[in-house]
């Protein structure tokens, strides 16, 4: 049971009205049963003004999943009605993200700007019906006339303009006669409505700006609340699924559909957003982090944009599992970031080979091992999944081991290397520590050992047992790499925001280890390819900075967490 489902069950037991996790499916089932929906059609309508984040992934997978489940259609549509913030760069990134998630729109990729002519004609029809008028009020005056949550609004002085005057003025707006903000077109609904969204909302404004798709053809642009229902209706969308903040906008959505007489009418359904604890999703905050050089782009692995999660090493399957566990609800709720980490561990643990990597290296020299001898050790790629097969790793006299696997004066219950102690080198031999070398500062540089040739892994040797096993990498064939370790970019103890609205940043969110050594089979690892590094976690080849002669790996997630799914 997901966190949200569990909360719903508790609410139900308390006698409160709740919405089933499957409430959207129930609506669709009812529409199909009543003959109102021969083919289910959904869409994902991003505004191309930034990169998509984990919350968008939920919407994409929900809309696409419902279309698939009911044998319907899924559209991708860019809501590009605001040229002040939109860029082709964002269009490209959104397309890449949705493809990576596995949502297939086939040949149905559209733009709101494809329908600008239809929207303009719709505005003309509203004027001709006496349902829209041109206003001269400034933005400040409009706020004054609008009223408050407890007080009704006042009629615009231009509300009773004649249809002929409104048609003339709106045509002049389109022809570029007026400056930005000088005039707007408002829907004529009800200035006393308890729903502020219905108090004669602006549906067109003047904006002398070049559009990424239509260039300089238009100098008036529709507002989202007017454009969105028209787009849905033209595409034949049956269920327009959006997040909860649009619930109060639904009466306006329905008003536009009704007044423009679109049939069949699309149905807007709202669900709760996906909130993650202690993460940054706000576009203006991410933009600031990028511009100030705190992160290296919208795809920095410390962020939760879809591009960042992909670069860090998350998989589409892990995000689908995460979305499924969160469920679909009408109740706002926050989910611990640890649950996202749980999902990637669950997805990778049986799929990825377990490789040896030394992140903080010291040398280990086996003094009684032949100087020029090399053996090939056969190692299982994943002991929990035999289907991944085996590989060979060269073994020789000099190895790298992790610094933490040797101590001069160990505490109790330390079972790794220390003077006089015997351990197993993973998939190789038993070795006994005979000494060590240090530098001028007293730091250990080399550990000396002897090995027992009879103890080779797989030989059946069982005369004695050792409590410690450590991993290693052969010095001669080792692959040098940079390893990046990540923590939350937010200082979790202080929360996301300071009192002044700035972010509480974690100064230790990125640790770069520049001298790490990997087993030689990792030399050919490609961008986005991921592995489990023994005892270290899951790692992915960085797609931006990694090169054939300089590999860079991002730690996706550590091996263990205290997080468990609620029962």
Q: What are the two backbone dihedrals, phi and then psi, of residue 161, each rounded to the nearest 5 degrees?
A: -55, 150
Matching fold, domains 116-221 and 479-557: no
Q: Which two tokens stand for residue 227?
A: 């454009």
pLDDT mean for each 10 residues of the chain (567 residues): 40 40 87 94 94 94 96 97 88 96 97 97 98 96 94 96 98 97 97 97 96 93 97 97 95 98 95 88 86 92 95 97 92 88 96 97 97 95 96 98 96 95 96 96 96 92 90 97 94 75 87 97 96 97 95 96 72
Strand order in the sheet with 220-222: 132-135, 184-187, 202-206, 220-222
Q: Is 491 helix (H, G, I), strand (E, B) or coil?
A: coil
Q: Which of 512, 508, 520, 507 is nearest to 553 (CA)?
A: 512
DSSP structure class, residue 497: B
Asked if 239 contacts 28 with a C-beta cutoff of 8 angstroms, the reply is: yes
Give CA–CA dist 293/544, Å, rounded: 16
Q: Give the pLDDT of residue 459.
A: 84
C-alpha 494 chain-centroid distance: 23
Q: Is 547 helix (H, G, I), strand (E, B) or coil?
A: strand
The structural domains of the chain, with segments of one domain joined by +, span 116-221, 362-469, 479-557
Q: Give the pLDDT of residue 320.
A: 96
Q: Which two tokens stand for residue 363?
A: 């040398």
Q: Give the pLDDT of residue 271.
A: 94
Q: What are the two backbone dihedrals, phi and then psi, of residue 459, each rounded to the nearest 5 degrees?
A: -80, -10
Q: Which two tokens stand for residue 117?
A: 């002519």
The structural architecture, per CATH, of the domain 362-469 is Beta Barrel (2.40)
End-to-end distance of the chain based on CA atoms, in angstroms? 7
Q: Is 269 helix (H, G, I), strand (E, B) or coil?
A: strand
CATH number of this structure's domain 479-557, picked from the four choices 3.40.50.300, 2.60.40.10, 3.40.50.2000, 2.40.240.10: 2.40.240.10
CATH number of this structure's domain 116-221, picked from the four choices 3.90.1150.10, 3.40.50.1000, 3.90.800.10, 3.30.505.10: 3.90.800.10
State the pTM of this model: 0.89
Q: Which of 317, 91, 295, 120 is nearest to 211 (CA)?
A: 91
């Amino acid at each position: 049971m997901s966190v949200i489902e569990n909360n719903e069950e508790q609410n139900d037991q308390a006698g409160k009205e709740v919405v089933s996790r499957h409430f959207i499916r129930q609506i669709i089932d009812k529409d199909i049963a009543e003959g109102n929906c021969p083919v289910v059609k959904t869409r994902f309508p991003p505004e191309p003004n930034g990169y998509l984040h984990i919350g968008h992934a939920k919407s994409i997978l929900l809309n696409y999943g419902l279309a698939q489940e009911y044998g319907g259609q899924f559209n991708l549509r860019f809501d590009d009605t605001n040229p002040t913030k939109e860029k082709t760069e964002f269009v490209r990134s959104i397309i890449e993200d949705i493809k990576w998630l596995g949502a297939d729109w086939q040949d149905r990729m559209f733009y709101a700007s494809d329908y600008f002519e239809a929207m303009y004609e719709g505005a003309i029809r509203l004027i001709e019906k006496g349902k829209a008028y041109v206003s001269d009020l400034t933005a400040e005056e409009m706020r004054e006339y609008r009223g408050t949550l407890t007080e009704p609004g006042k009629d615009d002085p231009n509300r009773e303009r004649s249809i002929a005057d409104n048609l003339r003025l709106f045509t002049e707006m389109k022809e570029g006669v007026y400056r930005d903000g000088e005039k707007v077109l408002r829907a004529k609904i009800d200035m006393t409505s308890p729903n502020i969204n219905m108090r004669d909302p602006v549906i067109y404004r003047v904006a002398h700006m070049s559009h990424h798709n239509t260039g300089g053809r238009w100098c008036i642009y529709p507002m989202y609340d007017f454009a969105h229902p028209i787009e849905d209706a033209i595409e034949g969308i049956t269920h327009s699924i959006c997040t909860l903040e649009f619930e109060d906008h639904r009466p306006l959505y329905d008003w536009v559909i009704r007044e423009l007489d679109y049939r069949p009418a699309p149905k807007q359904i709202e669900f709760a957003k996906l909130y993650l604890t202690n993460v940054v999703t706000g576009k203006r905050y991410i933009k600031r982090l990028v511009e100030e050089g705190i992160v290296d782009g919208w795809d920095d692995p410390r962020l939760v944009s879809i591009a960042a999660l992909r670069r860090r090493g998350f998989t589409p399957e892990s995000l689908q599992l995460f979305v499924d566990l969160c469920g679909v609800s009408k109740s706002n709720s926050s989910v611990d970031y640890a649950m996202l980490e749980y999902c990637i561990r669950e997805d990778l643990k049986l799929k990825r080979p377990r490789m040896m990597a030394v992140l903080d290296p010291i040398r280990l020299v086996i003094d009684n091992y032949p100087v020029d001898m090399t053996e090939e050790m056969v190692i299982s790629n994943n002991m929990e999944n035999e289907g991944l097969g085996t590989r060979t790793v060269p073994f020789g006299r000099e190895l790298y081991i992790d610094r933490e696997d040797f101590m001069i004066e160990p505490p109790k219950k330390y079972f790794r290397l220390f003077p006089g102690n015997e351990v197993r080198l993973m998939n190789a031999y038993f070795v006994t520590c005979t000494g060590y070398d240090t530098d001028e500062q007293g730091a250990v540089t080399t550990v000396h050992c002897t090995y027992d040739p009879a103890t080779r892994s797989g030989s059946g040797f069982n005369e004695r047992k050792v409590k410690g096993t450590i991993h290693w990498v052969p010095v001669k064939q080792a692959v040098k790499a940079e390893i990046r370790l990540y923590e939350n970019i937010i200082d979790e103890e202080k929360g996301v925001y300071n009192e002044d609205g700035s972010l509480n940043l974690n100064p230790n969110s990125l640790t770069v280890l520049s001298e790490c050594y990997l087993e030689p089979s990792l030399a050919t690892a490609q961008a986005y390819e991921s592995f489990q590094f023994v005892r270290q976690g899951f790692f992915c080849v960085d797609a931006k900075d990694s090169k054939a002669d300089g590999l860079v790996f991002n730690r996706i997630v550590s091996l263990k967490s205290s997080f468990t799914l609620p029962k």
